[in-house]
Structure 1
């Protein structure tokens, strides 16, 4: 049995199979609903159920509080229909531009760039390329059926190999494997491209790029894309970490600041130790942005990293710095603990 989904206000329609989530069906149909984690943690895909009936699978309370669900809100990544439905959602141009593919990949290089961070370079099959937008992610398909998501850290034009940045989460199903047993030439499988976090190239607004930890990965891809496009849009990168070693590509960012016109780089450390001899900005990274930019009404913001950082930036930039709500683009990284199945 299948059900028809109608999206308002666009009127777009697609088919959802029995037991399939609304978001999965939309991705399959190339309909550009906004989304991030795909597992009920980040709320990026939240919209309204106008007509029909759905059941919500497992999700985090903060992503869809009971009070919102009773008012008709729905998390499309974990909602399965039981009838034809009508939903209200903002569609995003470009999300369905490239087909979502399942592909094998060979580990070409494993580079440890910090005690708890490695960069995996992935070699695609001969004569294969993955088309994607700067900022999107892939999902590794694990043998037990679980999946783990990682942003692509290189711009689409540099796709001879795809790189991902992986932080070790002790006890994590995938990251323990990456740090203990994975080796070069091993084969993995992934699906992608996924996600509605990507560079909007139809705007001339200056950009604030906000990253915490390995949230730097998709931000790096966006910067590389802008360099490739010879964009003259002003960019300000704020990268936050607890200790200086968390900024594992600090030298690259400094090089960008020296060589790219209209680019500034502000590293921010929240918990420096005396032995770190840190002399730069301290505190919360999004508050450093607010100190430097009291009025964000004319900007776009791209934020990526820990949920607390992304959520705080969204609340404060919109509430206190006049950022238009529809100019805040984010990818909130969930940990393997958030994904426990």
Structure 2
């Protein structure tokens, strides 16, 4: 049995099979709406249901009066009211056999994995998007591309070693010449290129990866926007790629870097902020109306930053863009 899903105010509709969630059905039909984790954690896919009945489990990420489309199962034909949507070509997503070119331990618990695609093949993606790595048992893991789109013959991944993590136990053993199956692109955490609003980027740990792609892409395209980057970690060792920050300080006019570290000595040494990233936001900004915020990290960290920006500093909630890192198997 299948249900008809219609986008309110349009003639656009698509089919959703019984037991299939609305987001997956939309993506299969070539209709993309905001999403990130696809696990009901980040809240990016929240939207309205204006007609029909759905089964939608409770979630802290679910705003009042809305539903998480990645968890939303229709029980009848349904009319939805997404925050935004656009058509895309589902066949643009490609699978590659990528070869390990370099595997660097950038911090005690972070590997920077550089992959090369087969000769003559190029990956098409937007800055900020992610890929899925297919593991031998058929499960997948999601990682953001840290390189900008114009470096299309290679892929750079920043991988935190998660205790007990299936893939992160493999990563330290990978050597030049080993291969991985990857599929991309996924996600819509991407720069709003038509905007000239000041940008605040708030990241924790390897949440730095997609923002690195965004900022490198801005350099390539000569985008002129004020940018503040707040990068959080336990100590300065967690800021594992400061060389990239140093380049942006030279290449991006109006760029400001704020390291936010739990270690007071390291924070002082880097002329940074001693504490959490959400408190760094509060300390640096009295108001965020007219800004855009790009936030990447753990669910708790993203929720705390959203509260500081939207509830306490007046940011338009539609201008808070997030990519939530949720460990474990990816939704396929």
Deviates more, 1:17-26 or 1:217-226: 17-26
Residues in 1 aligned to 2:77 and 2:91: alpha-carbon distance in whole angstroms? 27
Q: Could you tell me which residue of structure 2 aligns to residue 163 of structure 1?
A: 156
- Does residue 325 (structure 1) correspond to residue 298 (structure 2)? The answer is no
Q: Is the 8 A contact 1:244 1:272 kept in 2?
A: no
* CA distance 1:270–1:93, shift in 2 (3 Å): farther
Aligned to 1:63: 61
Matches within 5 A, 1:262-341: 262-272=254-264, 280-336=272-328
The answer for unaligned runs of 5 or more in structure 1 is none
Q: CA deviation at 1:51?
A: 3.2
Is residue 31–residue 87 contact of structure 2 (8 Å, CA) maintained in 1? no
Equivalents in 2 of 1:186, 1:60: separation in Å?
A: 42
Where do 1:13-28 residues align within 5 Å?
A: 13-28=13-28
Corresponding residue number in structure 2 for 1:251: 243
Deviations 1:76-96 (A, max 9, x none): 213333443222211245876
Aligned residues: 331
Q: What is the deviation of 1:9?
A: 4.0
Secondary structure of 1:156's aligned partner = coil
User: CA-to-partner distance for each residue in 1:131-151, whole Å, 9 max, x for gaps?
Assistant: 111111111122323221111
> Which shows bigger deviation, 115-124 or 40-49?
40-49
Partner SS state of residue 31, structure 2: coil
Alpha-carbon distance between aligned partners in 1 of 2:77 and 2:291, rounded to the nearest angstrom: 39
Partner of 1:232: 224
Question: For 2:89 and 2:187, how far apart are their aligned partners in 1?
Answer: 10
The residue that corresponds to 1:39 in the other structure is 39
Shift of residue 275, structure 1, vs aligned partner: 12
TM-score between both structures, scaled by the size of structure 2: 0.90
Distance 1:143 1:19 in 2: 27
CA distance in 2, matches of 1:98, 1:310: 31
- In structure 1, distance between residues paired with 2:163 and 2:182: 22
List runs of 5+ in structure 2 lacking aligned partners: none
Q: Deviations 1:269-308 (Å, cap 9, x if unpaired)? A: 0235689966532111222222222111121111111222
- Cα shift at 1:152: 0.6
Matched, 1:172 2:165: yes
Aligned to 1:201: 193
Partner SS state of residue 228, structure 1:
helix
Distance 1:150 1:230 in 2: 26
Change (3 A) 1:83 1:106: farther
